[in-house]
Chain A
Amino acid sequence: MGALQGRVAGVARYALLVLPLAFVAGALLVPLGLMFVWSFWERAGFWIRPAFTLASYAEFFAGVRLSVLERSLVVAAGVTLLGLLLAYPIAYFLALRVRRDLARNVLLLFTIPFLVNYIIRTFSWVYLLSRTGPVNRALMAAGVTQRAVDWLLFSDFAVFVGLISSYMPFMIYPLWAALDGLDRRLVEASWLLGASPRVTFLRVTLPLSMPGVFAAVIFGFVGTFGESAVPIILGGVGYQLMGNTITSALDVLNYPLAAAMSSVVVATMLAFLLVWYLAFDLRAVLGKIARWRF
């Protein structure tokens, strides 16, 4: 009896532990997989019907939407690179030059605005960057320009500002975690061996922080590549990125096309993740969060 009870308890425990994984599988992995399947179906009135057609992909890759994909890739890469250049010095300074409790408080300050819906924050940029907004008034008051600058809003510039303010904070954490977990003796050793600070950074610190850099790249890229609201608010009429092109395909009830474009976005992300998973140790990014065996 005791053995049976033990086995029942064991099975119950196992079932409980697997529950969150089953939830993610059922509520995310399966829908994503099916979305890929449905991208090969065809339109039927207000919904879709089973078929195997590449029509949606042809429509995507042949039409003007291909340029949307290109632009999305360029914008996402640009925002990610700029975000990295902005975030790395902060992470470096906080991880290696500041007491840890102070660093945590500063990181917290970066978290708080991130918790406020980025769409609300993006609406604010419409005002801040407008012709009569504070940025233009400050530029004119400082004598930088005589007339209001009108490329600040409804432009690539505005989209970059919106995307960077939405996603850059997210990039600081993995960078900080990787730099904070770095073995300082290696830096000291490089220094003792006569390397200059610059060489030490390029040959020791930077390579050791690459897992964090790659994680930050993924965070920046995932946010910007599939972003649908920022281009609508700040890009102006006709500014298309993958995200809002997908929602506009939904608006005209072209569900298979939306599924196809969405699958391309997800496949891109999964490719990134796979490289990360195979090439880097998760522990380097999670830092001290998880010190268990894995």
Chain B
Amino acid sequence: MGPGRAGRAVAWAYIAALLLFLYVPLAPPLLFSLGGGGEAGTRAGAVTLRWYRQLWDNPLLVGGVQNSLLVGALVGLITPPLALLAAMAVRELRRPRLIVATVLLPLFIPGVSMGLASAFFFRQLGVTPSLLTITTVHVVWALPFAFLIILAVMATFDPMYLEAAYLHGAGRLRAFVDVELPLIRHGILGAAIFSVILSFNETVRTALVQGPNNTVQTYIWSTFLQVGLSPTLYALMSLLIAVTLGLVAVLLLVGARGAVSARGG
């Protein structure tokens, strides 16, 4: 059976068209950020990096960059161990279905509702909005993704190795650290990078728990709401797209290396 060559060509053309639809929006910020004309949309002048230089003259924005980096680093450090523990809980505790559903739940709660509930919760508890409240919300958001990545990598790990370690007298901890961890290491690293990417790209939840602290994303959002878009903002967006794509490249390298080591080792 199967479609003929023409059918396959149509299918690939369709996929290419949808990919184009998804990738085209990545281009305009770069175009506008390099324009010298000033007005977005009238790229008359020569290519300039002036808007990129101006970014660093804005203390509010530089603070936002620092906050984003710090929060991203914290999210990247906190989320993978939590996700790893959750994945192990699925394997070792009773009611794994319920555990999976609980850990995946943040995927299914709309951003506004999650941000609002957290913001109210922190306020009632008397917790001042800070980078830690932002980090908490980001970790909740990133956890299901990190969990799925680690779960996928752990599924390629043969539990017989653990049995072998136990038979040789290793305790649970020893068996985990010496046998399982080296084999799923790239999954944990991948989960960390993915969490950082999600943290860098989160706006809606962050905006509700940020208090006076801006991240790059909430800076873009609030500036858009107050004064609209500008070449400087486009420059900022281009940088964020570049950073995200760079992190994706690292993620792919880690994944490729992991696949090689899993097969070779």
Q: What does DSSP make chain A's interface, helix, strand, loop or mixed?
A: helix
Q: Report 10 cross-chain contacts, Cβ distance below 8 Å, ordered by A residue.
A: A13-B172, A20-B83, A23-B139, A89-B14, A113-B22, A115-B198, A120-B240, A128-B24, A197-B1, A272-B108
Asked if B143 and A24 sit within 8 Å, CB to CB, the answer is yes
Number of chain B interface residues as a range: 35 or more
Q: Scan residues 1-24 of chain B and give those whose CB is less than 8 A from a CB of chain A.
A: 1-3, 8, 11, 14-15, 18-19, 21-24
Tell me, in angstroms, the Cα distance from A218 to B103 when the chains sit together.
16
Q: Which of B3, B112, B117 contacts A34 (CB 8 A)?
A: B117
Shortest Cβ gap from B96 to chain A (Å) = 4
B85 touches A127 (CB 8 A): no
How near does chain A come to B248, taking the closest CB pair, in angstroms?
6
Q: Are A246 and B105 closer than 8 Å at their CB atoms? A: no
A50 to chain B, nearest CB (A): 11
A222–B107 touching, CB < 8 Å: yes
Q: Which residues of A contact B151 (CB under 8 A)?
A: 286, 289-290
Q: Is the CB of B241 within 8 A of A165?
A: no
Chain A residues with CB under 8 Å of B117's CB are: 28, 31-32, 34-35, 262, 266
Q: Does A44 contact B (CB under 8 A)?
A: no
In the complex, whether A273 has a CB less than 8 A from a CB of chain B is: yes
Please name the residue on chain A nearest to B78 by beta carbon: A23
Assess whether B123 is in contact with A47, with CB atoms less than 8 Å apart: yes
Determine which of B108, B116, B244 lies in contact with A269 in the assembled complex, contact meaning CB atoms within 8 Å.
B108
Contact status B85-A259, CB under 8 Å: no
B231 within 8 A of A: no
Which residues does chain B contribute within 8 Å of A124, judged by CB atoms? 24-29
Contact of A20 among B11, B82, B136, B245 (CB under 8 A): B82
CB–CB A218/B120 < 8 A: no
Tell me the complex Cα distance, A14–B89, Å. 9
Q: Within 8 Å CB of A232, what residues of B?
A: 225
